[in-house]
Amino acid sequence: MNRRTTWAFWLFVGPFLAGLAVFAYLPIGWSAYLSFFDAHNTVTPTSFVGLDNYVSMLTNEAFLSSLGTFSVFALIVVPLTFVLSLALAVGVNQLSFARTFFRSVFFLPFACSYVVASLVWKTSLFSGVRTGLANTVLGLFDADPVAWTGTVHPPLYWIVLVTARLWLQLGFYMILFIAALQRIPRHLYEAAWLDGAKPGWQVFRHITLPQLRSTAVAVLLLNLINAYQAFDEFYNILGDSRGYPPFARPPLVYLYYTSLGSGGQDLGHGSAGAVVLALLIALVTLLQGKLFRFNRTAS
């Protein structure tokens, strides 16, 4: 029986592990290998340079400013996503009708391609012409059209970037919170009401939030990692970011142009930057998990 169970396990898990090894772990390992070589326009370098690529990247002002872009993007997107997705989850979970419909409506954007959504956001909603939805709304108040993605001072392009990301990912995190809300034992609320707790904020603060601890930490971790990996909306909405301030180019966009840009395929520096970014993501994730004690469950 144990042997049959083992074979069944590997039958279902084996293809996934093989795909993960070929399409994830192998490229990561090869990228780490390339980071120690002078790899221009080749993935099989022979000129070993040691840590020179890492020193060059960590002293590169453009790369460091791209990390600053992540900080700005994360400080805006992570709190907004957390609060809005939790609010949506609580609201949808309390519906007595059409609950499935609203869950589907809010989750549907998550199934949309980030590339497609970014282009729709740029060409239809924030196109910068009078017929764009945002400028049409402004026109109702007799305001002049705004070049949303071309306005550098003030940086209105951040509105386009942030709203696109929120629209795409709110539904996913809402579903996670709804699943957690439905696991909260009903008797906790009944006991709170018997003890005189007032429905609303008091019950939410002392009953609901503590029970959502593990899910809340997971949402923060996933959200922060996704913010580090921001690429599609920046690349498709702002293009190559030339003409924009340094804070308009996140790490992945900078590494893309370093590794595959028209100025030459510098895969050595690009790989070194990718390794630095991966280590930074791992470090921040571990620190955040330690800070919020991810393995601790609500009592």
Residues of the chain under the 70 pLDDT cut: 1, 151-153, 240-248, 261-264, 293-299
In a domain, residue 31? The reply is no
Residue of 156, 122, 129, 167 whose CA lies nearest to 145 = 129
Question: How far is 39 from 269, CA to CA, in rounded Å?
Answer: 8
- Please answer whether residues 213 and 298 qualify as being in contact, where contact means their C-beta atoms are separated by less than 8 angstroms: yes
pTM reported for the whole predicted model: 0.81
Give CA–CA dist 138/146, Å, rounded: 9
Q: Give residue 139's domain range.
A: 52-292
Which pLDDT does position 150 carry in this prediction?
74
| CATH number of the domain to which 105 belongs | 1.10.3720.10
Cβ neighbours of residue 263 closer than 8 Å, sequence gap 6 or more: 257
Q: Say what the pLDDT of residue 48 is.
A: 87
For the chain, the farthest-separated pair of C-alpha atoms sits apart, in whole angstroms, at: 75
Assess if residue 4 is contained within a domain: no
Tell me which residue of 97, 158, 160, 153 sits closest to 127, measured CA to CA: 160
In a domain? residue 195: yes
Residue 241 lies in a domain: yes
Query: In which residue are the tokens 């705004």 written?
Result: 146
Residue 17 lies in a domain: no
Domain membership of residue 121 (yes or no) is yes
Total domains, the chain: 1
The CA distance from 60 to 257, in Å, is 14
- The answer to the question of residue 29 being in a domain is no
Residue 70 lies in a domain: yes
> What is the pLDDT, as a whole number, of residue 299?
46
